[in-house]
Structure 1
Amino acid sequence: MPADVEYSPVGEGLGMRDFWLYVWMRRISVIAAHVIAVGLTLLISLLSRPGTSLFSWHPVCMSFAYCLCMTEGILLFSAEGSTFCFKSRKGKVRLHWFCQALVLVAAATGVSFMVASKNVSEHPHLITWHSLLGVATLAATLLQVACGVCLLFPKLLRVISPPRMKLYHATCGLVAYLLAMVTVVLAMFSDWFQATVKGVVWWAFLLLPFFSALVVMNQITNAYLPRKKITR
């Protein structure tokens, strides 16, 4: 294979008509993911009735952290359907960091309310798949934040290979997001959620996190996985 190669663009091999259809489908999917991020967060917050109990703040904080802030922080870099109009990547990176900081604050607050609620009711901790995957999600979130800090201060932290660290950051972020969406889905099987939402509406709720996960996974893999190489 010659050394002088370049990566082929997305959609290579498609006809012009098919390519534009592909582009518009991606744009619609990303816009739908934005709508789901906002809508799902609002609906979960309304169903939780925040303030009625210590537990009621847990779904509010966690949905705000992962369904909204993490989703928007990732989709910010999408070329299709981004709700922000920053021309410079530097501006997008700063807003991405702001969203990730909100994820950490909101997630820590949500966990604190859950721990307090369990202690007051004297219920055991970490006995459901939802709680176990929630811990795994927090661990993956901390890893991706650590990689992001290394990218933010590469000289200070003496990062040997920033491109590789960038790949680690994206990978940990993708794992954290997928775990978060699975955790959200598992929460929908809880007694609290099923007592509130039933029937067709419950099935609609169940599918929404999967759609967002597919859009985010497609964006990250397209951005970081090697594409087919072609010679000049």
Structure 2
Amino acid sequence: MVAHFAALAFTGCIIYVAWPGSSLFSWHPTLMAIAMGLLMFEAITVFSPSSSLIVSWQRSTKANIHGFMIAASMCAAIAGFIVIYYNKELNNKEHFTTWHGTMGLITFVWACVQCTGGVLLKYNWLISSWKIRLADMKLYHATAGLCAFTFVSITIVLALFSDWFNSVATGTTWWGAFATLGCLSLMVMQQITTAYLPQSRIIKPKPITSKQDKRKERKKQK
């Protein structure tokens, strides 16, 4: 439950300081926090054996829920992207001139590519001629997903250092947003690396049962 509390706390913190509806710009952090800090995170933790709310459900059902939540996340992200682009156009400002803007664009494009990979993984018969093993496709998708959430985390951290956030967030709010974001990033990293990195196995020696085997073992030791 800690994971879900952290996701809700972070998203709630951003929505609180943004106060959606107070301006056109306010919808950008609101939609992006919902997209990346809540929906994308919850979509990833669907498969977590320790944090998932549906841990006992079939994997195929989890995969469908994961896909629906990622689709919702991307819809919110696209809306947030359109808002900030249109807001800059209204104010005659240049686009992608800050580290946050540039990293946000990279993250947005990477997320779109990652979603395409997820669709190909679900409907893998579309690329059957590529002769890629399903296990390898899952590994690639999970690794790319880890990269995607890493990019998300970097983009949000850069946003926390923006003039806007520092003008609306107090010290406690700033550190609260930073701490919960760090918690989300560590949970995603731990889940994906534990599930997909190769695990070392200890091979136990076979027990010696017969007297003949015991004699052979003594000879080997001598």
Q: TM over 0.5: same fold?
A: yes
- 8 Å CA contact 1:167, 1:224 repeated in 2: yes
Is 1:77 aligned to 2:47, yes or no?
A: yes
Aligned residues of 1:144 and 1:168 also touching (Cα < 8 A): no
Let me know the Cα RMSD of the aligned residues.
Answer: 1.4
Structure with the higher helix share, 1 or 2: 2
Partner Cα distance (1:46, 1:204) in 2 = 12
Greater shift, 76-85 or 176-185, is seen at: 76-85
What's the CA shift string for 1:132-190, capped at 9, x where partnerless?
A: 11111112212221221111111123252221111111111111111101211111111
1:200-220 Cα shifts (integer Å, max 9, x gaps): 332222222111101110000
Identity across the alignment (%): 38
Letter in 2 for 1:176: A
Structure 2 distance, partners of 1:102, 1:77, is 18
CA–CA distance in structure 2, aligned partners of residues 42 and 164 of structure 1: 37
Q: Which amino acid aligns with 1:223?
A: A
2 CA distance for matches of 1:202 and 1:108? 25
TM-score by length of 2: 0.86
Deviation at 1:94, TM superposition (A): 0.7
Question: What is the match of residue 90 of structure 1?
Answer: 60
Alignment coverage as a number of residue pairs: 202
1:104-183 mapped onto 2 (5 Å cutoff): 104-158=74-128, 159-160=130-131, 161-183=133-155
1:85 is displaced (CA, Å) by 4.9
- Give the aligned partner of residue 46 of structure 1: 16
Larger Rg: 2
Match of 1:228 in 2: 200
Q: What's the offset of the Cα at 1:130?
A: 0.7
CA distance in 2, matches of 1:230, 1:155: 37
Q: 2:42 and 2:171 mapped to 1: Cα distance?
A: 29
Higher RCO structure, 1 or 2 (CA under 8 Å, sep 6+): 1
> 1:54, 1:201 → 2: CA distance?
22
Inter-CA distance 201–54: structure 2 relative to 1 (3 Å threshold): closer
Greater mean deviation of Cα atoms: 141-150 or 219-228: 141-150
With 139-148 and 101-110 compared, the bigger mean Cα shift is at: 139-148
Q: TM-score, normalised by structure 1?
A: 0.83
Show the counterpart of 1:217.
189
Q: Is the 8 Å Cα contact of residues 24 and 83 (structure 2) preserved in structure 1? A: yes
Distance 1:198 1:48 in 2: 13
Q: Which residue matches 1:100?
A: 70
Q: Which deviates more, 210-219 or 75-84?
A: 75-84
Once the 2 structures are TM-superposed, how far is the Cα of residue 82 of structure 1 from its aligned partner? 1.8
Structure 2: any 5+ residue segments left out of the alignment? 205-222
Deviation at 1:45, TM superposition (A): 1.4
Deviation at 1:230, TM superposition (A): 3.0
Taking the TM superposition and a 5 Å limit, the aligned residue runs for 1:23-42 are 31-42=1-12
Q: Does the 8 Å contact 1:144/1:170 carry over to 2?
A: no
Separation of aligned partners in 2, 1:84 and 1:229: 29
Contact 1:48/1:56 (<8 A) preserved: yes
Identify unmatched segments of 5+ residues in structure 1: 1-30
- Aligned mates of 1:203, 1:39 — CA distance in 2: 12
* Greater alpha carbon shift after TM alignment, 174-183 vs 82-91: 82-91
